[in-house]
Structure 1
Amino acid sequence: MIYGAMKFSVGGGLKLAFRPWVEGLENVPTEGPAILASNHLSFSDSFFLPAVLDRKVTFIAKQEYFTSPGVKGRLTAAFFKGVGQLPVDRSGARGAGEAAIQAGIKVIENGGLFGIYPEGTRSPDGRLYRGKSGGLARVALATGAPVIPVAMIDTEKIQPPGKVVPKLMRPGIRIGAPLDFTRYQGLENDHFIRRSLTDEVMYEIMKLSGQEYVDIYATAAKRQLAEEKKAEEKKAVDMKDGEKKDGERAQAA
């Protein structure tokens, strides 16, 4: 009941305001379990994908989305609760990862749609990064559910990280054909199988999205970009200090 109301109010409003285009909607089964594996460009991805589907899709959402202060925080929490998203406390990485995996398996065992972002975090620059082999692969291999690759298009332009007010423009969603990994079912503890499965899914997402692929984790890319920014800021400060000292020496002369 709550999901239907939220779907009508929030989902309907999003479709009316942004008019997202969708390709491959027929690839999402009308019933039965499936895993939707998507690239992750923006916070709004978790709003647009459920909005265009006729079925409920459950994502694992970080705990902060349910506890953030302010009007935006309350609205975000209400939406995620209303559509049945599952909060996970990420303060302990190992525990959070296992909790997310078990939650995903439960969604699949109940015949639902489980949504997951294999990159593990939003892309820092619009490129597609290496998928983490833990969550997606373990849920797929433990359950035998088909994996449906999904590409979000231009959502990072609507609401870049740090921006509160979204830009009105049309995002896109491409949904690929289901991938069957039942031949590997039960091998979720085999690292090489998990890596192979994840890479195959990421390749399909890359074809759908047209993104440039980078074979490192997005978290590592974010650290690298932060370090580069810090170095540039230090260089600018040093240059300013140097110019100031040159000016002082010139005055003294």
Structure 2
Amino acid sequence: MLYRLMKYVLLGPLLRLLWPAKVTGRENIPETGGAILAGNHLAVADSFFMPLRVPRKVTFPAKQEYFTEKGPKGLLKKWFFTGVGQFPIDRSSGSAAQAALDTAIRLVRSGHLLGIYPEGTRSPDGRLYKGKTGVARIALESRAPVIPVVMVGTDKVNPIGSKMWRPRKLEIRFGRPLDFSRYEGLAGDRFIERSITDEIMYALMELSGQEYVDIYAAKAKELIAADEAGVRPAVPLQPEGREPARLPESKAG
């Protein structure tokens, strides 16, 4: 009830009015049953604009801190993030990460649409970074299709560090579902899970046109921060005189 109120009465109409979006490929989203919407991640705004353009409810994992802050402000945050379809995850330990995966798998198995960002955090510079294999584990355990989805322009609406969103027309592209049923029974095999994750990232790269960088976004943020602080990083983000890293061609089919 709260989700519908936010989407159709309170937040949704305002966002549609101020930030119109061109949407393609929406027919790739199944009308029923569990599925995974795996997206690029340019801004916090991604988790608000994309679900508005999906006829079904999309559930996203979110930092536990959004739900545990004390006082009136904390209650407002909890109400808001619950209302837009997000659920809390604790990322403080390995067991917490496994619990988050188990929750995501259970949601997809029970027929929900799960939104997830394989990069694990926002891109620091608009490029596409190496995916974490949790998305592959969820796909294998739930036996659900993965639909790649890309946001274009949200990093201009909501640049990192900005407090106010800027007016700009957006684009949202949903790709064709990726079927990994050929790997049934191989959940837990790290080579299989890496292969699946790379296939998903290849689809996102093709759909978005973003340059791909073969390191994790969290590591890229560390390197960028070190460079800004005048500390020469141990591993350069992009060696001089070299072409940017590219994913191998998809082996789908």
* Fold in common (TM above 0.5): yes
Counterpart secondary structure, 1:86: strand
Q: Number of residue pairs matched?
A: 231
Ranges in structure 1 where 5+ consecutive residues have no aligned partner:
233-253
**1:80-229 matches, cutoff 5 A:** 80-92=81-93, 94-133=94-133, 135-229=134-228
**2:243 matched residue in structure 1:** none
* Structure-to-structure mapping, 1:8-19, within 5 angstroms: 8=8, 9-19=10-20
- What one-letter code is carried by the residue in structure 1 that aligns with 2:219? A
Q: Which residue of 2 aligns with 1:248?
A: none
- Aligned residues: CA RMSD: 1.9
Amino acid at match of 1:7: K
Structure with greater helix share of residues: 1
Q: What TM-score do the two structures reach when normalised by structure 1?
A: 0.86
Pair 1:63 & 2:68 matched: no
Structure 1 36/160 Cα, relative in aligned 2: closer, same or farther at 3 Å? Answer: same
Query: Aligned ranges for residues 241-252 of structure 1 at < 5 Å?
Result: none
Give 1:28 deviation, angstroms: 0.6
Corresponding residue SS for 1:231: coil
Provide the C-alpha distance between the structure 2 equivalents of 1:59 and 1:146, rounded to a whole number of angstroms.
Answer: 16
CA–CA distance in structure 2, aligned partners of residues 159 and 32 of structure 1? 32
1:7 CA drift (Å): 1.0
Aligned residue in 1 for 2:248: none
Tell me, what secondary structure is at the counterpart of 2:122? Answer: coil
Counterpart of 1:97, as a letter, is: A
Give TM-score scaled by structure 2 length. Answer: 0.86
Cα offset for 1:82? 1.2
How far 1:75 moved relative to its partner?
Answer: 5.2
**Aligned residues of 2:90 and 2:100 also touching (Cα < 8 A):** no
The one-letter code matched in structure 2 to 1:103 is T
Report the Cα distance in structure 2 between the residues aligned to 1:5 and 1:167, rounded to whole angstroms: 24
| Cα drift, residue 79 of structure 1 | 2.5
Following superposition, the deviation at residue 78 of structure 1 comes to: 2.5
Q: Secondary structure at the match of 2:229?
A: helix
Q: 1:216 is aligned with what amino acid? A: I
In terms of mean alpha carbon deviation, does 198-207 or 81-90 score higher? 81-90
Q: Is the 8 A contact 1:119 1:131 kept in 2?
A: yes
The answer on 1:22 being equivalent to 2:23 is yes
Q: Which runs of 5 or more structure 2 residues have no equivalent in the other structure?
A: 232-253
Q: Quick one: structure 1 residues 79 and 31, their matched pair in 2 at CA, closer, same or farther if it must change by over 3 Å?
A: same
- Counterpart amino acid of residue 39 in structure 1: N
For 1:183-240, what per-residue CA distance to the aligned partner results, in whole angstroms no more than 9, with x for missing partners? 11221111110000000000000011110000111011011001101117xxxxxxxx
Maintained 8 Å contact 2:29/2:147: yes
Q: Highest CA radius of gyration, 1 or 2?
A: 1
Give the conservation status (yes or no) of the 8 Å contact 2:43–2:155.
Answer: yes
CA distance in 2, matches of 1:212, 1:75: 38
1:153-183, CA deviations, whole angstroms, 9 ceiling, x for partnerless residues? 1101101111110001111110000000011
Counterpart CA distance in 2 for 1:117 and 1:78 is: 23
